[in-house]
Every structure is written in C-alpha cells, then in structure tokens.
Structure 1
C-alpha cells in the first residue's frame, strides 16, 4: 500500500485510482531550439501522477520556470479526456482522466500559492503539501530520472551526465534541433505507448494503465472543459 505523509504529519493511505495525485516539476536534460532553430534552452516539465497506479495523468512542458500556472496547466491536462491527431503516431490512447480527491505537492513557493488552493477548493480537491522528508511518495523523482534515461537519452540535444559537463554541453549544443512542440509530441508518444503501458515493479502483472483502470472505485466524471477553464482563468 502506498502511504503519503503530509506537511502537517498526517498519513494518507492510497487505496484506489484517482484518490491521490502528485504534482512535481523538473528541468529536463535536453537542449531545445526556438522555431527559428536558434536560442538553445532547457525546458521544464510538470507532471501529474496517480499515486495508486503510477500512471502519468497529464503534464505541462515549457520554457518558463515552474510556477502555480504550470501546475494549473498540468492539472487541466490531467483532468480532461485527451485526444491526439495522426501526427502523434500513437499505437494506443491516453485514456486516463478525472478529478482526484487529493492533490499533493511539495512545500515550495509555487505549491503554496493561494490561487492554487482556491482552484482546488472550487474543484472539490483536497490539497495537501507533502512532507518530503517522511513521505513514501517520492517516486515522482524516479519517474523524472526514467524519462531522462529511457526517453531523452535517445534524442538530439540530450546532455549526458556521464560525460564531462562542458564536453556534454558542447555536444548537446551541436546536436540540438528539436523544438518545444516536437518534444511535446514525442513525450506524449512515450507516455501513451511506453511508460503507461509498462509493468511497474510494485504492481505485479498489471501495466500502470491496467492498474489505473482496475483501481477505479467509480467511473470518472467528464469535467466540462469550458467550466474548468473558467476556474483556472479567474
């Protein structure tokens, strides 16, 4: 059983899908270019992860430093049903959606946003700050490491930590040509067709997606997109 401990030292037992979602940010180890093929920059990734299944529920990818706005956009993506065009070349579908009972984040400034607390209240989400020193929910960091080694390492512009820092950076700058939009497309493909379809060491014989589907206590409600945007924009 997954257990989360909050900043207030309360214990949350995770028993089913969409009960507890975690949100975390990370700077990715890959250099991207702008639409003109210039200005190489490291992007940031905000993930929403279902604690019960370890499924990635949604994300936001951008160049701006993580903020409460990054969390809003990632949460919106996680809550709504997702549809992608042929350009994504997906073998499967990203079928996860819904509204969590609890959203957990760390105690950094962007997660302490009063606006984030208000939005969670409007959506009926119980927002909790994690105690990262005590929590057993630190698997988000392992997911970011997996994304770096399993996904980004094969892409042009990847900064290889196994090579001397300056040499790795020079190689990455020479090879970088992906834009943010192109990385977004490839990341969706990785999550849908690889990560969420993998067996998790803690889940036995089920894939992460199978565990999410079998672990639902009720059918998720499809949230009204326009209504959700009103909450996030006000």
Structure 2
C-alpha cells in the first residue's frame, strides 16, 4: 500500500488527460426538499476534476456531509461512460471517462482511509499527497463552486425550477440541473491555457493513449461499493 502513496506539492506532473484527478467537496448554497416538500437542508457536492483539462469527470450529490462513500460514488460516475436520455435536454454529450493514474483528495482524513486506499490500489490508482505545509492548490475548485452557486441562485434557474417542478427542488431534480450545467456549460467553456479548445476538447486531445483505461462496469461497481 505504501508504494501507492506519493507526495506532490504541485500539479506539474498532470501533463495529460486522466493523469490525475482532484476530488473536492462543497456545500451548495441552495436548500433541497424531500418528495413531500419538507426541507432537508443544503446538499453536498463531490466533484472529480481532471487537472490537465479542467474537465469535470463526474460528481456525486448527497444530503449528507462528505464521507468515504461520496468519493467512491463520484469516482464510479467519473470512470464510467455516461449516457442520458432526452429528459435531460442536453445539447452535448458527456464524453469523458476512464481510470485515472492518480488522485488528490482535498480532505486529508478521507484520503487516509485504509479502505479507500485499498480499493484505489485494486484499480491501480495512486493517491498523491501534498508535501507537509504546502496545502492543496484548490483555487480552481473554489472558483468552480462559486460559479456554480451563482448559477443555482440565478433568477432564470429559479423560475425554471418553480415552473417545471412545482417549487420542489429535490435531489433528483438538482442532479438533472447539475448534469446540464457540467455537460452544456462548464465542460464547454474554453480552457484557460488553450484559447481554441473547450475543456472537453482538451481532455480528448490530451489522452496519452488511443483510449482511456477502463474496467468492466459490474466489477467497478463491486470494487467501489
């Protein structure tokens, strides 16, 4: 297990797509309700971001604070091929997938979970730890969560939720909104260092092989249960 753990204090090693993903967490500035309309509170979002392309690879949404299961669920979503039916009203496809070489997790307690480390080792995924005192360079995800919260609080979105869902913003409804945001908005934005490529285009162009490393879906679901 120790061989799977490495210390890194920057992202210079993330020089191609799926070389390293950043797992981060946020409490969204919006309240959700259950199917009866009773307020549950603010939901928690766990995202997997490909550091090289800045693409959102996948996410997990929950009413519970971040834990080990939030990481494994976000990874399952990020690794697998993603297909959505017409009810999501998507203009683009979420084409990113595959198994990353490494992960950085913006929560040292969760990153030190032996159960998580064991499951990642079985997938051949390394956990990259920042050097002591260096901290994670999480300014990008802080900006992402800030922009997402502004999007969720916009008048247009509020009116759409009220019209389409009788003012009930459940986890299921919010999940559809987040899929739409990441697929048609966030991943289609121009990458900071590549003025002619969107994030999704940069991910595709930055693959280090003909196709991303994959695993049979049922086996992945078993490993990341």
Matched residue pairs, number?
210
Q: Residue 60 and residue 107 in structure 1: after superposition, are their counterparts in 2 closer, same or farther (change >3 A)?
A: closer
- CA RMSD in angstroms comes to 2.2
Q: Residue 9 and residue 231 in structure 1: after superposition, are their counterparts in 2 closer, same or farther (change >3 A)?
A: closer
Provide structure 1 residue ranges, at least 5 long, that are not aligned to the other structure.
1-5, 158-174
Q: Residue 214 and residue 8 in structure 1: after superposition, are their counterparts in 2 closer, same or farther (change >3 A)?
A: closer
Aligned pairs (5 A) from 1:1-234: 8=7, 12-130=12-130, 133-136=134-137, 138-149=139-150, 151-154=151-154, 155-156=157-158, 177-218=168-209, 219-233=211-225
**Deviation per CA, 1:131-157, whole angstroms, max 9, x where unpaired?**
5845445412221112112x2122439
Q: Matches of 1:9 and 1:188 in 2, distance apart?
A: 31
Q: Matches of 2:186 and 2:89 in 1, distance apart?
A: 16
Q: Matches of 2:137 and 2:65 in 1, distance apart?
A: 26
Task: Normalising by structure 1, report the TM-score.
Answer: 0.83
Tell me how far 1:61 sits from its aligned partner: 0.3
Q: Residue 110 and residue 134 in structure 1: after superposition, are their counterparts in 2 closer, same or farther (change >3 A)?
A: closer
Q: Secondary structure at the match of 1:13?
A: coil
Q: Secondary structure at the match of 2:61?
A: strand
Tell me how far 1:10 sits from its aligned partner: 5.3
Indicate the residue corresponding to 2:163 in structure 1.
Answer: none
Q: Secondary structure at the match of 1:57?
A: strand
Tell me how far 1:7 sits from its aligned partner: 8.1
**Deviation per CA, 1:91-123, whole angstroms, max 9, x where unpaired?**
111010000001111343222211110011000
Q: Matches of 1:82 and 1:8 in 2, distance apart?
A: 32
Q: Matches of 2:203 and 2:8 in 1, distance apart?
A: 27
Q: Secondary structure at the match of 2:17?
A: coil
CA contact (8 A) 2:25 2:106 kept: no
CA contact (8 A) 2:40 2:63 kept: no
Q: Matches of 2:40 and 2:126 in 1, distance apart?
A: 39
